[in-house]
Amino acid sequence: MLELKLIYWARQSLRLAMVALTIWIIAAAFFAVRSNTLHPAVSPRATTVTGVFSQMFDAVLAAVALPGVLVVVLIVTVRVIQSRDVRRRDPVRRFTRQQRREGMARAGGQCEMEGGFSRRCSRPAEHGDHFYPWSKGGSTSLQNFVAACSKCNRAKGARIPSTALQERLERRRSVYALFDDAVRVGARQPLP
């Protein structure tokens, strides 16, 4: 599903950008302090303690201004995404008994998540899980239902699954699901 690919990579990039900007800010502040201490004679050297500190403060502020603005932009973007996730939330959170029954039957009662080495977990399924997390706007539908053991259920948490996991799960499902239209996994609610 192209949509999940976009969502997943957009969020991964945001996370990476945040890490990069944090490193940039720390490094910029560090070098600003260092060059100010080593070569303070850029402007007439301050003679008082307050003067030294205010010079250093100005240097640090100038150095972190650009990454600082970018961090603010990033935080605003993340907030917008989060509020849209909340607006997408399916009013129905719990799967119906019918969905549970069909989902468990589709999985043959076995956990559909992954144990080690990208292979299917061998434990019996105990939970019906939202593949695309409910809290992030995942649908309470049979397509978004995955059968999971309690260990995989806990390990998965409310993270958006990677597209690689989605592809592997669909490939495995194409072997054990009885109907072709039961292979697809993951569904997200439209914005209201």
Site for Zn ion in 121-180 (CB under 5 A): 121, 123, 149, 152
Count of other CB atoms within 10 angstroms of residue 159: 11
Residue 59 binds Zn ion (CB under 5 A): no
Is the separation of the CB atoms in 146 and 170 below 8 Å?
no
**Which stretch in 71-79, 107-115, 130-138, 184-192 sits in contact with Zn ion by CB under 5 A?**
107-115
**Which stretch in 66-74, 85-93, 105-113, 177-185 sits in contact with Zn ion by CB under 5 A?**
105-113
Closest separation in Å from C-beta 156 to Zn ion: 9
Residue 113 binds Zn ion (CB under 5 A): yes
**Which stretch in 51-59, 74-82, 103-111, 130-138 sits in contact with Zn ion by CB under 5 A?**
103-111
Closest separation in Å from C-beta 142 to Zn ion: 19
Q: What is the size of the binding site for Zn ion (CB under 5 A)?
A: 6
Task: Please give the residue ranges that form the binding site for Zn ion (CB under 5 A).
Answer: 111, 113, 121, 123, 149, 152
